[in-house]
Amino acid sequence: MSMRTLINFAVSIVITLVLIFVIRGLANVIFAVEKPAKPAIAVPVTEEEEKKEEAAAQEPAKEEAPAEQKTAAAEQQPAAQPAEQQAEQPAQPAEQAQPAEQQQAAAAPAAGDPEAGKKVFNKCKACHFADKKKNKVGPYLLGVVGRKAGAVADFKYSAAMKAKGEEGLVWTEENIAKYLKAPKKFVPGNKMAFAGLKKDKDIADVIAYLKSMKE
């Protein structure tokens, strides 16, 4: 390759580079975009927000109460009582004790129906009379309410029932109700084979019937 050809090639490269830089500079000048000082689209503010902003600006800041006022308020509050005074104050009872009459009424079984009790007593007729002083397998029950346990003279009681009588057991309505509910539990070792009445109403009715059968 001749020297002239090399010179022409180098000149072509230089001219090309110059043209590129010139074109880029002109493009930056022609297509330059200035940023607006304010946004092109304004965001609308509602009347309610404007009112809130105005109210917030007009509302004065709450001033903190002076230290003197705080001290005066603290002095006006009553001081807590010492532990000794609190201990000396008598404790309030949770509930007042019921009179003896009310306690006995609560322990007594509900009033029963003698006529209904007479029907329930059919379960006992095989071993007891309730209308006359005559023993069967068990002692007669005429006048049993209020009678001492093991008190029928001509009946052979079990040792357990005799012992209860000697201890002072009396056939009150409460004791009869407990005995009819669970005879073996109330007087362990007695010889009555009857398992007991399960319904409280039946027990109350039988007691009402026995009370009506007086000597």
- The better pLDDT of the pair 28, 171 is held by 171
pLDDT for 41 equals 55
Q: pTM for the full model?
A: 0.50
Question: How many domains does the chain fold into?
Answer: 1
Where does residue 66 fall: left (phi above 0), alpha (psi -120 to 50 degrees), or beta otherwise? beta
pLDDT for 103 equals 47
Confidence tier at 212 by pLDDT (50, 70, 90) = very high
pLDDT for 5 equals 84
Q: What CATH number does the domain containing 207 carry?
A: 1.10.760.10
- Asked, for residue 173, whether it belongs to a domain, the answer is yes
Question: What percent of the chain shows pLDDT beyond 70?
Answer: 62
| Neighbouring residues of 208: CB distance < 8 A, sequence distance ≥ 6 | 111, 112, 113, 114, 116, 117
Maximum CA pair distance of the chain? 165
- Asked, for residue 31, whether it belongs to a domain, the answer is no
pLDDT digit string (tens) for 137-192?
999 999 999 999 999 999 999 999 999 999 999 999 999 999 999 999 999 999 99
- Asked, for residue 170, whether it belongs to a domain, the answer is yes
Type of residue at 56? A
- Asked, for residue 128, whether it belongs to a domain, the answer is yes
CA-based nearest residue to 197, from 109, 106, 115: 109
**Residue 51 clears pLDDT 70, i.e. is over it:** no
Show the 3-state SS of 180-201: HHCHHHHCCCCCCCCCCCCCHH
Structural domain span for residue 189: 112-212
